[in-house]
């Protein structure tokens, strides 16, 4: 096998580029286990050899333009396959719709085999080599990826790496008493060590799944289950686990997956006496995975799911010289956006964006308003303290506002994982329902509907004004509302996240060309913004960005400059008309109307925005 590596010129050259670092990192992590390392190299070579010629050609093209995903033309859409159109073949049949929406990057939510009723929405994988039968087969996945590639679209899917389902073959053999497979998890003979862990490890779901360990009756042992009892944490201190899981990831890449979303990345290394979050070994593992992908499938991107405060998120980019993830979720801006909607105060957002604008331009964030998950209020409360904001009381205010329990609020959301003991809860709901569209339509109030649609569009304009890749949750493009049917589903009723995971309403999508329907108004407005973003260099991720001082705490001002274009973007989060007290000297035009509009004392209607642009090249 090593002789094959030496004679395979492309693989050999890629391996040589990283070999010294790869061996050093692997040896440090796994105590110089040369046998495991040699196996790892042979495994990488095998997956390289098995990679289709078309995918290798795709890799070579992207190697020539390594920043291919940095541009302003990238636009994503996230979906559950069964909700969008039943199965993988159904998604393939709707490629034309996805192209019409401008999407060139689709994120398929978990689709690998998992047990019904014990899967956490597909995040408890029982077989990493099989698709959930009702969704199709691995061949269907490959066919969809090939069709996407023919249409210039990339495909993303989740790689659940922290744990497996209790039904996975490894778990079944561990339950049967095979020590080799128990060593792939965290098994303990009694509760002494688990109780020691509990002293320092926070609980992820204290109300729905308290504790970090569960009793395994078949093995008569305790097993670590950080998320849910049916999700058994993998022991990445065992090199066999890392080797086999990396092989599972590369198998997905060889089926055409372009972007691998590393689920629950901060949790994958456990160490007694720590909080088992963001440990240094996690970064070593992610760096090795990055190197593995650069060697086998350099056209593939790693997207890190790091739902943490900003100081914990940014390190997952690695460094410019030794990068880890290609992209990270901009979870803090998402949460701060909804905080700003509720408070109508932009000061926290200015503070938070200022930190992002100061980062190297090579760092690419995935920006979003809503996703499959809840909204957690992980805000910068140390900053908010200066305004008299107290964390527990503020979280309650935000949740009350977005559940419509506050006077004057038209938002319609529901709480998730509410823990009255800690005064904490997370929030669920679609973008449109949180913006008030649902309440306005229920009340048949045209004025409220206008205001809520305007807010929905303004938030999408803000999303598209940020550097990075914007991704829209399927249904948001037509203003889809909450789906309350989950309350009567015995497998979903206790998980309010299904409130915004309803089936895509194809009958409503048929109204997207209407000029008067809610669906048409939102769809056309967002498409117009997306097209403007794709055609103007100023939206490129390489743009210089800064906060524009509006001298009005209700209006957020963002400046962007790139290749001679300068944009002033203004967003009024107040429910009253406001003025941005700016005084820019250049001649500007309104990007939406193409008419002259001075960037001086700009009036912005309630819940509205303005994109003002000037071009130094003219």
Rounded Cα distance between 453 and 189, Å, is 57
Q: Identify the pLDDT of residue 39.
A: 97
Rounded Cα distance between 81 and 370, Å, is 17
In CATH, the number for domain 1-161+243-329 is: 3.20.20.80
Q: Identify the pLDDT of residue 457.
A: 98
In CATH, the number for domain 543-615 is: 2.60.40.1180
What is the CATH T-level fold of the domain 163-233, as seen in this structure? Answer: Oligo-1,6-glucosidase; domain 2 (3.90.400)
The catalytic residue positions are: 263, 305
Rounded Cα distance between 273 and 292, Å, is 31
Domain with CATH 2.60.40.1180 in the chain: 543-615
Domain with CATH 3.20.20.80 in the chain: 1-161+243-329, 331-535
Task: Report residues of the chain scoring pLDDT below 50.
Answer: none
Contacts of 242 (CB under 8 A, 6+ apart): 30, 40, 236, 285, 288
Q: Identify the pLDDT of residue 2.
A: 62
Phi, psi (5° rounding) for residue 208? -90, -25
Angle, helices 9-29 vs 34-50, to 10°: value is 150
Rounded Cα distance between 6 and 13, Å, is 9
612: tokens are: 């003002």
Rounded Cα distance between 240 and 238, Å, is 5
Identify each DSSP E strand in 3-121 by its residue range: 76-79, 105-108, 112-113
Strands 154-160 and 565-572: unpaired
Rounded Cα distance between 200 and 273, Å, is 6
Q: Identify the pLDDT of residue 158.
A: 96
* DSSP 8-state assignment for residue 496: G
* DSSP 8-state assignment for residue 327: E
What is the CATH T-level fold of the domain 331-535, as seen in this structure? Answer: TIM Barrel (3.20.20)
Rounded Cα distance between 551 and 531, Å, is 31
Domain with CATH 3.90.400.10 in the chain: 163-233
Instruction: Kindly report, residue by residue over 55-103, the tens digit of the pLDDT.
Output: 999 999 999 999 999 999 999 999 999 999 999 999 999 999 999 999 9
Instruction: Kindly report, residue by residue over 447-483, the tens digit of the pLDDT.
Output: 999 999 999 999 999 999 999 999 999 999 999 999 9
Q: Identify the pLDDT of residue 173.
A: 98
Evaluate if pTM is beyond 0.75. Answer: yes
HEC states along 334-365?
Answer: HHHHHHHHHHCCCHHHHHHHHHHHCCCCCCEE
C-alpha to C-alpha distances, 130 to 126, 139, 252, 607, nearest whole angstrom? 9, 10, 10, 46
Q: Identify the pLDDT of residue 6.
A: 67
Contact 392, 444 (CB under 8 A): no
Instruction: Kindly report, residue by residue over 26-65, the tens digit of the pLDDT.
Output: 999 999 999 999 999 999 999 999 999 999 999 999 999 9
Q: Identify the pLDDT of residue 259.
A: 97
């Amino acid at each position: 096998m090593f002789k094959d590596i030496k004679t395979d010129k492309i693989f050999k050259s890629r391996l040589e580029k990283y070999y010294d670092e790869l061996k050093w990192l692997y040896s440090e992590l796994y105590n110089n286990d040369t046998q495991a390392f040699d196996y790892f190299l042979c495994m990488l070579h095998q997956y390289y050899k098995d990679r289709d010629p078309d995918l290798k050609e795709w890799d070579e093209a992207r190697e020539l333009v390594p920043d291919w995903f940095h541009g302003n033309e990238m636009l994503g859409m996230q979906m559950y396959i069964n909700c969008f159109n039943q199965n993988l073949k159904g998604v393939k049949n709707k490629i034309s719709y996805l192209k019409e929406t401008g999407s060139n990057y689709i994120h398929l939510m978990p689709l690998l085999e998992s047990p019904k009723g014990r899967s956490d929405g597909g995040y408890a994988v029982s077989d990493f080599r099989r698709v959930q039968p009702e969704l199709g087969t691995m061949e269907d996945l490959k066919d969809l990826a090939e069709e996407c590639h023919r249409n210039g679209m990339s495909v993303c899917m989740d790689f659940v790496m922290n744990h497996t389902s209790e039904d996975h073959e490894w778990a079944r053999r561990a339950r049967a008493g095979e020590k080799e497979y128990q060593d792939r998890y965290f098994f303990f003979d009694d509760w002494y060590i688990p109780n020691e862990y509990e002293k320092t490890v926070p609980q992820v779901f204290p109300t729905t799944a308290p504790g970090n360990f569960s009793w395994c009756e078949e093995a008569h042992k305790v097993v670590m289950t950080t998320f849910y009892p049916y999700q058994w944490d993998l022991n990445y201190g065992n090199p066999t686990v890392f080797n086999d899981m990396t092989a599972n990831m590369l198998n997905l890449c060889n089926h055409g997956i372009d972007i691998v979303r590393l689920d629950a990345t901060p949790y994958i290394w456990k160490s007694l006496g720590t909080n088992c979050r963001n440990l240094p070994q996690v970064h070593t593992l992610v760096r090795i995975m990055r190197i593995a992908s650069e060697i086998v499938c350099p056209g593939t991107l790693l997207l890190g799911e790091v739902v943490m405060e900003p100081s914990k998120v940014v390190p997952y980019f690695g460094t410019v010289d030794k990068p880890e993830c290609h992209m990270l979720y901009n979870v803090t801006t998402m949460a701060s956006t909804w905080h700003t909607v509720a408070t109508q105060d932009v000061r926290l957002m200015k503070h938070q964006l200022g930190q992002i604008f100061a980062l190297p331009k090579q760092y690419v964030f995935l920006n979003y308003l809503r996703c499959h998950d809840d909204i957690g209020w992980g805000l910068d409360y140390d900053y908010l303290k200066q305004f008299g904001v107290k964390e527990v009381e503020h979280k309650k205010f935000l949740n009350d506002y977005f559940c419509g329990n506050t006077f004057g609020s038209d938002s319609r959301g529901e709480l998730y994982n509410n823990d009255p003991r800690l005064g904490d809860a997370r929030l669920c709901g679609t973008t449109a329902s949180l913006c008030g569209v649902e309440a306005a339509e229920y009340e048949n109030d045209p004025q409220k509907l206008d205001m809520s649609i305007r807010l929905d569009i303004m938030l999408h304009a803000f999303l598209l004004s940020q550097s990075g890749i914007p991704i829209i949750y399927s249904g948001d493009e037509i203003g889809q509302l909450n789906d309350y049917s989950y309350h009567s589903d015995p497998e979903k009723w206790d998980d309010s996240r299904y409130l915004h995971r309803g089936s895509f309403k194809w009958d409503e999508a048929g109204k997207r060309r209407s000029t008067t329907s809610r669906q048409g108004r939102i769809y056309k407005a967002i498409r117009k913004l997306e097209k403007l973003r794709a055609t103007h260099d100023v939206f490129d991720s390489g743009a210089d960005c800064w906060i524009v001082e509006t001298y009005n705490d209700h209006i957020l001002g963002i400046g962007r400059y790139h290749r001679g274009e300068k944009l002033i973007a203004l967003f009024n989060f107040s429910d009253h008309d406001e003025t941005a007290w700016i005084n820019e000297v250049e001649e500007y035009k309104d990007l939406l109307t193409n008419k002259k509009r001075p960037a001086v004392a700009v009036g912005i209607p309630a819940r509205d925005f303005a994109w003002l642009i000037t071009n130094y090249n003219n």
